Amino acid sequence: MPLPMTALGLDPDYSLVFESSGGAAPPSRVLNLTNQMDRHVAFKVKTTAPKSYIVRPSAGTLKPRAQQEVHILYQNNCASANSDRFLVQALPVNMDEVITKDHWAAARDTLQEIKLNVVMACDTSSEQKGAQMRSVADTSPASVKLRYEELVQHIPHLKRENCAIEEELSSLRSASLQSSSSEYRGFSKVHMLLAALISFVVSYLYDLDLLFAGYLKGLSSHLA
């Protein structure tokens, strides 16, 4: 069974508090380790969520009375971090001793460890404020009017495409009268083009109607 931690002094020694400002930079924390012995001490820093943290360095050896900063970077969802834990292990070693996995596995009688809780202080006010500002901007009368005008500008293009499709339909109808087989093929093409035309026009007019209604609603709210 591992022994209580006496070889290393930790700062902090109970909880790792990560403060998230809601910005682009991920929250980070520095764990300070101090060798409190007159001999070399090997250390390892583990976590229950290794995919959520970058720990540098995660292992090493400290000279007598030496200190080491361990930088911990969190890279996951802020709200899910409060159940995470960290484990710091220490093992007194000789000065020139090379520490391997076998050393850690065999040192059950001299291994020391301490567990640290994770506290994630999430501050999403900045993100929420930005989202609210974007929402207001998208539904403002000026924004709705701009989108409405852009859609209106596409109407001539829609009419030109409609005329081109009608000409193609007329040609197909004429060709379909030549023979029964050609009639069948022409009839199929006619239906396909008609379906495409109807779907395109209905969708476009629907979007136009929605934008115009939104513009009127936003304008009335603005005037009120």
Query: What is the predicted pLDDT for the residue at 137?
Result: 47
Beta strand 112-122 pairing with 15-20: parallel
Q: For residue 120, name the pLDDT band (cuts at 50, 70, 90).
A: confident
Of the candidate ranges 69-73, 90-94, 97-101, the one whose mean pLDDT is the lowest? 97-101
DSSP-derived pairing of the beta strands 41-47 and 15-20: unpaired
Whether 134 shows a pLDDT value over 90: the answer reads: no
- Is the model more confident about 186 or about 33? 33
Tell me: the pLDDT tens digits for 30-88? Answer: 999 999 999 999 999 999 999 999 999 999 999 999 999 999 999 887 766 788 999 99
Q: Tell me the fold of 3-126.
A: Immunoglobulin-like (2.60.40)
DSSP lists the bridge partners of residue 9 as 34
Tell me the C-alpha distance between 145 and 151, whole Å: 10
Report if pTM > 0.75: no
Q: Which parts of 34-100 fold into alpha helices (H)?
A: none
- Residue type at 129? K
**CA count, 13 A, side-chain hemisphere, 116:** 27
- Pairing mode of beta strands 59-62, 41-47: antiparallel
Q: Which residues contact 191 (CB under 8 A, 6 or more apart)?
A: none
- Confidence grade of residue 189 (pLDDT, cut at 50, 70, 90): low
Give the confidence band of 202 by pLDDT, cuts at 50, 70, 90: low
| Nearest residue to 122 (alpha-carbon basis) of 46, 26, 53 | 26
Question: Do the beta carbons of residue 28 and residue 69 sit within 8 Å?
Answer: no
Highest mean pLDDT among 4-18, 118-132, 202-216: 4-18
Half-sphere exposure of 155 (CA within 13 A, CB side): 11
Is 218 or 9 the better-scoring residue by pLDDT?
Answer: 9
Tokens 């000065």, residue located: 95
Euclidean distance between the first and final Cα of the chain, in Å? 73
Residue 136: pLDDT over 50: no
Structure tokens at 25: 């930079």
CB crowding 148-179: b at 16 or more within 10 Å, else e: beebeeeeeeeeeeeeebeeebeebeeebeee
Contact 85, 55 (CB under 8 A): no
Q: How many residues does the chain have?
A: 224
